[in-house]
Structures are given as structure tokens and as C-alpha cells.
Structure 1
Amino acid sequence: MRGVVELIRRAREGELEARDELFRQCRSYVGLIARAQVESWLRVKVDASDLVQQTLLEAHRDFSRFRGQSEQEWLAWLRRIVARNAADFVRQYRGAAKRAVRREVGFAAESGDGGGAPEPAAPVETPSQEFLHLEAALQVSAALETLPPDYQEVVFLRNVQRLSFDEVARRMNRSRPAAQMLWLRALKKLRAALEPGGEGGGPS
């Protein structure tokens, strides 16, 4: 994996290949950030692929506005774009949910049923995302993407969303001990992927 600082420098010099590689390396990271922010507000699992695509397109378009030099500054810039787009995504999601509620209430009124659907979850503070602020955040997010889906999910819920094992178990429809064991196996696999020459880690 080529260094982000070098790729930023070369992209600024007009190398399209370097710019494409820079954004390719960031896709997994942006995907985790996007899902973490949206799900922490909505409390439901969502498909954040459109949000990721929009964020990367905007970052491509506005690349000349980025003034930082380091990898940390670059990732912080991407996180700000994700945060803005995630807020828009949540507003649109809630708007669609409210329209669905109004339709349900209308049908219930016509049928004489007074029951209503619950309001969407209120905004909550986003979870601590230390996992995604690590110095090796890009490598970790890329390595995580190489793991089996259940491993990805348990690490996301436990390490990114910082959920309790009871909540992780509930969301994954497993017992608490089974969720803990799955998490331990996932971390072992993730560490192996981050080793030089591993499936997802190490410099190329």
C-alpha cells in the first residue's frame, strides 16, 4: 500500500493514477465512517453505499480545496464530508419514514384502527470512533473488509459502534457467549490480515 502523503503530493502534481489510488485506499475507511455515523443516529442497519459514493465524488470534485499535508489531515477532511452528507442522509431517511407513518395512520383511520407507528429514533451523539482514528486506520479498514461478513459485523458493532456484548448478541441473533467467541475469532483474523504479507495488511 503506497503512502497517503506521497499519493497526495503526486495527485496535486496532476497524476491521475495517484489520485485514483488515493481514493481507492480510502473507500473502505469512508464506508465504515459513513455507516457508523448514520446507524448511530437512526439505530437501524442501513445501506450506506450511496452515501459513500456521494462522499467520494465530492472529495474528488473538491480535491483542490484540501490544504493539509498529513494522512491524519486527509482523513479528517474526509470525515467532515461524510458528516455533512450523513446528516442529509438522516434527514431524508426520517422524512421518508414520517411519510410512511402518515400513510399507515391514514389507513388505520379509514379502518377504524387507532394504532400508530412509532416515530423514528431521535438523534443521539455519535459513538466514540477511536477505532477509526488509529494511525493505521486505512490499513485496519481495508483489512476488515477482507474478513467474512459475520467477522466484519461483530468488529463493527463492538469496536466501531462500541456496543455492549449483550446488544451485539441481540443484533446478530446469537447468545452472548457466542457473540464474544465470534468477536475473539474476528480480532485474531484481523490481526493476521494486518501482518506483513497478510490478506489485507502490510505494505506492498
Structure 2
Amino acid sequence: MDKDNNSQLVELLNRARGGDEAARDELFDKCRNYLAIVARVQVESWLRVKVDASDLVQQTMLDAYRGFGDFRGNSEGEWLTWLKQILKHNATDFVRRYRGTEKRQQRREVPMQVGPTNLSEGFTREPSSGGESPSELVMQREREIQLADCITKLAPDHQEVIILRSLQRLPFDEVAERMDRTRPAVQMLWARAVSKLKDLYGEF
């Protein structure tokens, strides 16, 4: 995200704090795609299955909206961190409900810390096995919202391979298994997805 867009978000934050309801609505709307991607990355990495995280995002938005007066930060980074804290709390409850009667299998469950909690972490670390890293896409926290918006514009299979490979950093063999494709097919799909993501990102 460039400096002007970053300043715009902070301006919305300040206006919302001053009682501007329209600014508050716009502020939350700008963060919806970001929360949707983070929710998928976290919950799917914990459960190892594809889930619909829309209810989780909606609850997080509602909790953040209601508790807006409790936010004490001043920067975009602090704002995103606050939203992710609320999301993580709700995601923990979501996962517990999802697992339901599987409590006897807790010793074999994936630790709750698995998977990156933000987009820039996922893209700035080298993937766990070969292939070109898209690390040049994101170097600063301020670009996370913009990147999330771009990811949501990708085709569903491109979104999934980006989330599994570049955000969750799974090896290609595991990505292929989850997507029910061959490893070569997944590698080609990932390369195309990264190329498309770069194109979309460059349009901002």
C-alpha cells in the first residue's frame, strides 16, 4: 500500500474516533477482505480442511465494531494487530466448536500456533520446498490489506493454491494432496497464480 493509501486508512480511523459513522463503516469495509484471508489461513491450517470462514469474519467485524472504543493504537499496523487478536480469539472458539466430540483426539490435533497470522509473514518467508518465492510482493505491513484485496480477485483455485503454498507454506506434495491434483499440476497452477497476483498488485 502506498503512503497515500496508508494515510487514508489512518484518516478514516481518526474520523471514526471522532464519531463519523460513515468513516467507521468504510474503515471496516476496507478490512473485510483482509480478515477473510487471514481467517482462512488460520482456521484451515488448524483444521487441515477447507472451511467457510465467512461467519467467523462476520463475528470478528461485529465484535470489533462494538468494541471500537477500546482500540488505543494510532497506526495501521496497530489496527490490523488489534483486529487479528479479536479474530484469533473467535477462531479458537470456532475450531473448538468444529471439532466437537473429537476432544479425545486432542493429542493428535494441530497446535493452535500453526500457520502465519498475517499476510506479510506468509509472503516474506521462503516456501518450504522449491520454486520461486513471491517475497518481493510484500515487504511492509502497510501492504497487507492491498494484497488481500488482490487475492480475493483471483479465481478460486488460484486463491486456494496461494493460501496453501504461499501463506501456509505447505510443501507442494501436501498442496497437491489437498487439491486432489498431481504435484506438477499444482506447481504450474501456483506459478500462474503468483504471476496473476503480481499483475493485480501492480495495478494499485
TM-score scaled by length of structure 1: 0.81
Q: Secondary structure at the match of 2:25?
A: helix
Instruction: Tell me which amino acid in the other structure corresponds to 2:34.
Output: Y
Q: Which moved more, 1:75-84 or 1:119-128?
A: 119-128
Distance 1:130 1:56 in 2: 17
Distance 2:93 2:39 in 1: 12
Find the structure with the greater CA-based Rg. 1
Q: Secondary structure at the match of 1:30?
A: helix
- In the alignment, structure 1 residue 14 sits paired with structure 2 residue 19: yes
Match of 1:142 in 2: 149
Instruction: Tell me which amino acid in the other structure corresponds to 1:72.
Output: G
Among 11, 25, 28, which residue is 1:23 paired with? 28
- In the alignment, structure 1 residue 127 sits paired with structure 2 residue 132: no
Q: CA deviation at 1:162?
A: 1.0
Q: Secondary structure at the match of 1:128?
A: coil
Instruction: Tell me which amino acid in the other structure corresponds to 1:131.
Output: L
Match of 1:80 in 2: 85
Q: Secondary structure at the match of 2:51?
A: coil
Match of 2:138 in 1: none
Where structure 2 has 5 or more consecutive residues not aligned to the other structure, the ranges are: 122-140
Contact 1:131 1:159 in 2 (8 A): no
Contact 2:37 2:148 in 1 (8 A): yes
Q: Which moved more, 1:70-79 or 1:43-52?
A: 43-52
Match of 1:163 in 2: 170
Match of 2:54 in 1: 49
Distance 1:9 1:18 in 2: 9
Match of 2:124 in 1: none
Instruction: Tell me which amino acid in the other structure corresponds to 1:147.
Output: L
Q: CA deviation at 1:171?
A: 1.0
Match of 2:179 in 1: 172
Contact 2:84 2:117 in 1 (8 A): no
Q: Secondary structure at the match of 1:67?
A: coil
Distance 2:120 2:63 in 1: 21
TM-score scaled by length of structure 2: 0.81
Contact 1:129 1:160 in 2 (8 A): no
In terms of fraction of residues, the more helix-rich structure is: 2
Match of 1:181 in 2: 188
Distance 1:144 1:32 in 2: 8
Sequence identity, in percent?
52
Q: CA deviation at 1:130?
A: 5.5
Match of 1:90 in 2: 95
CA RMSD of aligned residues (A): 1.9
Distance 2:60 2:120 in 1: 17
Among 61, 65, 68, which residue is 1:63 paired with? 68
